Amino acid sequence: MTTTRRDAHSGSIYQRASDGMWVVAVELPERDGKRRRKVIVRAKKADAVTALRAARKDLPELTVAGALEFVRRETGATTVTLGFERALEVGSPSLEGGSYGRDTGSC
């Protein structure tokens, strides 16, 4: 039986050796500079996979629009500047590789 890998940063599922329960761990956006995770425990692996999918749907998208919605929901702020600042804090795939803050010399 072949298994497929999940995408990076999409959460993890593992079985605890102590009691045989299935554990789902999902990274949440940082708050006050501290990393956060959501941990869910289920008896069956199928239930754990379902819980992982449900937890991932609740996470904000790592896009500017997703970050703006996250900031609006968490702080009540509605300015575009706050949304962009939060997107840079959360991290955006389009800003990887040092493109943020680097002068490209083009106008």
* Tens digit of each residue's pLDDT (9 = 90 or more) over 63-82: 556 666 666 776 666 566 66
Tokens, residue 25: 């761990």
Tens digit of pLDDT for each residue in 40-68?
999 999 999 999 988 888 776 555 566 66
How many Cα neighbours within 13 Å face the side chain of 65? Answer: 0
The pTM of the full predicted model, rounded to 2 decimals, is 0.52
SS3 at position 107: coil
Query: Is the distance from CB of 23 to CB of 40 less than 8 angstroms?
Result: yes
